[in-house]
Amino acid sequence: MTGITTLPLRSAVPVEQTWDLASVYATPADWEAACAELTAQLPQLAAFRGRLAEGPATLLAFLAPMQAAGVLMGKITIYAFNGSSVDTGDQAAAARAGQSRTLMANSAAAVAFFDPELVAIGLDQIDAWIAATPELAFFSHYVDRLRQRQTHVRSSEVEEVLALTGDAFSGPFSVYGMLNNADMSFRPAVASDGTELEVGQASIGALITHPDRAVRRSAWESYADGYLALRNTHAAAFTAGVKQNVFNARVRGHASSLHGSLDPNYIPVEVFHNLIAVFKRHLPTWHRYWRLRRRVLGVESLGVYDIKAPLTGAKPAVSFQQAVEWIAEGMAPLGQDYVDVLRRGCLEQRWVDRALNKGKREGAYSSGSHGTHPFIMMSYQDDLFSLSTLAHELGHSMHSYHTRRTQPFIYGRYGLFLAEVASNFNQAMVRDYLFRTQTERGFQIGLIEEAMSNYHRYFFIMPTLAQFELEAHARAERGAPLSADILNGITADLYAEGYGDEVDFDRPRIGITWAQFGHMYMNFYVYQYATGISAAHALAQPILAGDQAAASRYRDFLKSGGSRYPLETLKLAGVDMTTPEPVEAAFGVLAGLVDRLEALV
């Protein structure tokens, strides 16, 4: 048996593969100084409590320092959490992340009186102030949003208590993060020649796409077994998070946890239920894909670990620099200025932390705030899958970049529903460019594999987990028990429906899938991957057909941030997500990819 292939320590990775957190704060001491500065500002903000009724001048006097404190809090948070994400074993970074969470809760508590006080003054009165005070014109949409949710706003005292729970309520996700990224260990994957390969959050993606089936199988089994070994701890953390969501929904008077998540984002629950209904209706498309994949691989039964197996002898190698170039070419219809910012961010300003190292947290994400450039965390593997992930995260980053340059702080958060549109839009644009320009058969097959892998995650796994999330919350709402066995059973039953008779069903290992996603702590986040990919394809099609007006509308979408309601923003860009048609159309794109693959193989 040959030696094990291991991940390097964080200290050993080249600096050019890491992001530039020093662009936020040069040293931890500078970060500490920023924390002290914000702490000193909080009593000044809290001193406005009870004074807003004095008139528009006082309201205006409060809005400026409130937004400035929000910008400072954003920078503090980004520095702390990004530092911890890339090396979860770094105790100093973990301490900064914890300190940041406490400061975030204290900041929210200091201004918790704001919405209740506006409601008490009367929103019609606030509208009159805005009409009479040009400097307050920007605040109009905030008031309109508050009018939509005012029945769920509680008294200043209750709002302050709820804000203070933010730190304590971060416990389940913090436990999950440390357990998942720092404390869990996995036995090595074993290749058919006996070589051992380290299984970790930074390496699992490459291992389950490995050409050696023994590597894929042993890596997938090891990864699942690592979670199964700690299933009770994972279940306890997740159940605590679910009960917190139920608590918050009830305190604010929402009809359910689902309403408690969607109502504050101005998304009707029918959007969620439409998605699930369309997903179930189109499961035969997935069953057809599983059958095709089994035939092409020449295996008697298709394992979950075969779902991302390469279908050609050689995977296309794609360096980071090449990926940036292809992404830039794919996004060219949005304009040279868009492309220039993207290239500069990736190749000069070190937006992207792409290194593979021990202790790096799972997955990929985009972050940043007013006052910083975007940051992207991922583990780049020199393949089409990593190219696609980079394109996805750059969609988030460019969305945030344009929003923060255009909107004031109060509209800098555009909501999760819109976030997943921009990310999937980039993938659709880049994928179309590569289909048109990289015509070699093996590359085309590899590109379809990547596309199907992306759809598998966003249009199969995420709708499946959305159903799991709905059932888990429903059980908590009616006081039914939640345990590891129950959660695993719910997940296994849902996947059994999704896989049908086409995938070899390892019930215990498939049942623990829910524990492998930090998204389960984000209160009905995952359905938005599927709605996002649907809206993204609808917006990309006219642009790919050369419609310059559609490209201009999309650029306006990126700049809108939270200055309009999400569904209104999408309608202005060109897609109506209140109907099931965009989801139906996206399944049409999926079926077309299966057709294309069948023709090639």
150-196 residue pLDDT tens: 999 999 999 999 998 988 898 999 999 889 888 999 999 999 999 99
Task: Judge whether residue 3 has pLDDT over 70.
Answer: no
Q: Find all residues with CB under 8 Å of 501, minimum gap 6, and list them.
A: 287
**Local structure of 590: helix, strand or coil:** helix
Q: At what angle do helices 269-281 and 462-477 cross, to 10 degrees?
A: 130
Q: In degrees to the nearest 10, what's the CA dihedral of 334, 337, 339, 344?
A: -160
SS3 of 330-357? HCHHHCHHHHHHHHHHHHCCCCEECCCC
**Local structure of 302: helix, strand or coil:** strand
Report if residue 373 sits inside a domain. no
Give the tens place of pLDDT for each residue, 547-559.
Answer: 999 999 999 999 9
Domain with residue 49: its CATH number is 1.20.140.70
Give the tens place of pLDDT for each residue, 477-503.
Answer: 999 999 999 999 999 999 999 999 999
pLDDT over 70 for what percent of the chain?
A: 99
Could you give the CA distance from residue 278 to residue 579 in angstroms, rounded to a whole number? 11
Nearest to 577, CA basis, from 540, 545, 547, 532: 532
Q: How far is CA 324 from CA 21, 76, 162, 331, in A?
A: 21, 29, 43, 11
Report if residue 369 sits inside a domain. no
Q: Which segment of 71-85, 174-188, 415-429 scores lowest on mean pLDDT?
A: 174-188
What average pLDDT does this structure show over 517-546?
96
Q: Which segment of 5-14, 110-119, 568-577 scores lowest on mean pLDDT?
A: 5-14
Label the pairing between strands 375-377 and 365-367: antiparallel
Report if residue 550 sits inside a domain. yes
Q: What is the pLDDT of residue 5?
A: 56
Q: In degrees to the nearest 10, what's the CA dihedral of 466, 470, 471, 472?
A: 100
Give the tens place of pLDDT for each residue, 453-483.
Answer: 999 999 999 999 999 999 999 999 999 999 9
The upper half-sphere exposure of residue 128, i.e. CA atoms within 13 Å in the direction of its Cβ, equals 7
Kindly state the tokens that stand for 124.
Answer: 């019609």
Q: Which segment of 54-63, 202-211, 335-344, 544-553 scores lowest on mean pLDDT?
A: 202-211
DSSP state letter for 409 = G
Domain boundary among 168, 200, 225: 168
157 and 260 fall within a common domain: no
163 and 259 fall within a common domain: no
Give the tens place of pLDDT for each residue, 378-398.
Answer: 999 999 999 999 999 999 999
- The more confident residue out of 560 and 180 is 560
Could you give the CA distance from residue 142 to residue 386 in angstroms, rounded to a whole number? 38
573 and 472 fall within a common domain: yes
Q: At what angle do helices 416-437 and 548-560 cross, to 10 degrees?
A: 140
Task: Judge whether residue 315 has pLDDT over 80.
Answer: no
Q: Are the C-beta atoms of residues 114 and 67 closer than 8 Å to each other?
A: no
Q: Find all residues with CB under 8 Å of 595, minimum gap 6, and list them.
A: none
Task: Judge whether residue 267 has pLDDT over 80.
Answer: yes
Could you give the CA distance from residue 462 to residue 528 in angstroms, rounded to a whole number? 8
156 and 278 fall within a common domain: no
157 and 283 fall within a common domain: no
Domain with residue 469: its CATH number is 1.10.1370.20
Domain boundary among 138, 168, 198: 168
Could you give the CA distance from residue 159 to residue 157 in angstroms, rounded to a whole number? 5
Q: How many residues are present in the chain?
A: 601
279 and 419 fall within a common domain: yes
Euclidean distance between the first and final Cα of the chain, in Å? 35
DSSP state letter for 265 = G
Could you give the CA distance from residue 397 to residue 342 in angstroms, rounded to a whole number? 9
pLDDT over 90 for what percent of the chain?
A: 93
Label the pairing between strands 352-353 and 196-197: unpaired
- Number of domains forming the structure of the chain: 2
Task: Judge whether residue 202 has pLDDT over 90.
Answer: no
Report if residue 362 sits inside a domain. no
Nearest to 147, CA basis, from 567, 523, 565: 565
Could you give the CA distance from residue 535 to residue 581 in angstroms, rounded to a whole number? 10
Q: For residue 203, give the amino acid letter.
A: S
20 and 140 fall within a common domain: yes
Nearest to 88, CA basis, from 167, 197, 9, 26: 9
Average confidence score pLDDT of the chain: 95
Nearest to 88, CA basis, from 207, 222, 187, 179: 179
Q: What is the pLDDT of residue 416?
A: 86
Report if residue 105 sits inside a domain. yes
Report if residue 521 sits inside a domain. yes
Report if residue 277 sits inside a domain. yes
Could you give the CA distance from residue 14 to residue 508 in angstroms, rounded to a whole number? 40
Q: Which segment of 106-110, 305-309, 312-316, 326-330 scores lowest on mean pLDDT?
A: 312-316
Task: Judge whether residue 32 has pLDDT over 90.
Answer: yes
Structural domain boundaries enclosing 84: 13-168
Could you give the CA distance from residue 112 to residue 42 in angstroms, rounded to a whole number? 11
Task: Judge whether residue 205 has pLDDT over 70.
Answer: yes
**Residue showing tokens 């930074």:** 202
Report if residue 442 sits inside a domain. yes
Q: Which segment of 88-92, 108-112, 284-288 scores lowest on mean pLDDT?
A: 88-92
Scored b (16 or more CB within 10 A) or e, 558-590 reads: bbbbbbbbbbebbeebbbebeebebbeebbebb
Element (H, E) at 53: none
Q: What is the pLDDT of residue 168?
A: 86
Q: For residue 553, give the amino acid letter.
A: R
Q: Which segment of 2-6, 306-310, 324-328 scores lowest on mean pLDDT?
A: 2-6
Q: Are the C-beta atoms of residues 532 and 423 closer than 8 Å to each other?
A: yes
> 1 falls in which pLDDT band (50, 70, 90)?
very low
16 is catalytic: no
482 and 592 fall within a common domain: yes
Domain boundary among 146, 168, 190: 168
Q: The pTM is what?
A: 0.91
**Residue showing tokens 């057709």:** 595
**Local structure of 366: helix, strand or coil:** strand
Active-site residue among 117, 198, 362, 393?
393
Q: Find all residues with CB under 8 Å of 125, minimum gap 6, and list them.
A: none
> 6 falls in which pLDDT band (50, 70, 90)?
confident
